[in-house]
Amino acid sequence: MNGVWFSWLRGACLCLALLASAAQAREFRVDLIQFDPWAKKNPDPDAAEPYVGIVVDLLKEFERRSGHRTIKTLTPYARVERDLEVGDCDFSIMAWGEARAAYANRGTAFVPLEFGVRARKGVRVRSYEDLKKIIVGAPRGLKVDPRFDADPEIRKDLVLDYTLAIRKAVADRDAMAVAGSLSTLGHIIHKLKLEAEFGDVLVLNTTHLTVAFSKKSSQIGAEAQVNAVFKTMVDDGTARRIYERWMFPPD
C-alpha cells in the first residue's frame, strides 16, 4: 500500500512541476539577422522550420533547455537595430558594438569575432590609411569599427548584405574591398568559390557574438534568465559547436 501511495504522490508532484513550468513559460520576439550563415530562409521548401543558420540553432537549443518559445522574424540588419531601439523585438543575437549600449543590454557572449576588410586581389590594404584610397562595400547599417563607421574620408558602398557586397567587388563595380565580420566574409567567399579573387585582409576590431536585449522590451524582467540559459550553452561547448558547424562546414 505504501508503494502505491508513493507512486501516486510522485506522479502528482511531477504533474504539479510540469504545470508550474508551463505557467512560467514565456514567448520572446527575436529578430534573426538576415546574413548567411547566421540566419536565412530554409532552402528546403517542405521543411517544418522556415529558417536555418547559427542563430536559429542557438534559439532552438534555448527553447529545448528553457521551455520558452521564440517568435522568430528574419530581418535585414539595419531593421534589427531599429527594432531593438523601439522594443519591437525582445532580443537578438549579434556582434556587439558599443553604440548599441544606448538601447540594448549586452548579454551572454558566445564566440569572439574579428571585424575588418578583405580587399580584391591586387588592391593594397595594409593599413587604415589605405582604406581612404578606395571604395569599401558593406551591408547597410552594419557596425564594423567605431572609427571606420564614422570616418567621412572613407567612401562606402552600402548594400543589402554581404553576398551583394562581395559580388560587386569581384565584378569591379564601385567597391574594391568588403568590410564586416571576417569569418562571415570568408564563409561566403568560400561558398561562392571566389577565394582567388581576394587578397589583403585588414583587422580593425575584435568583438563578440552576444545577446542584445532591448531596454524597451516588455520582457526585460526575464533578461537574466535568458542569459543564464545561453550561458549553459557556452559553458558546455554547445554554442561553439553550432557556430563552427555552420561557419566552417566540410566541403
The pLDDT tens digits for 155-202 are: 999 998 999 999 999 998 889 999 999 999 999 999 999 999 999 999
DSSP string of 137-163, one letter each residue: EEETT----HHHHH-TTSEEEEESSHH
**C-alpha cell recorded at residue 189:** 567567399
Q: pLDDT > 70: what percent of the chain?
A: 91
Each residue's pLDDT tens digit, 88-102: 999 999 999 888 999
Q: Rounded mean pLDDT of 41-63? A: 95
Name which of 145, 114, 112, 113 is nearest 131 in CA terms.
145
- 182-to-14, 23, 178, 202 alpha-carbon distances in Å: 48, 43, 10, 9
Cell 562606402, residue located: 156
pLDDT over threshold 60, residue 215: yes
- pTM score, whole prediction: 0.85
Residue whose entry in the numeric block shows the C-alpha cell 558566445? 110
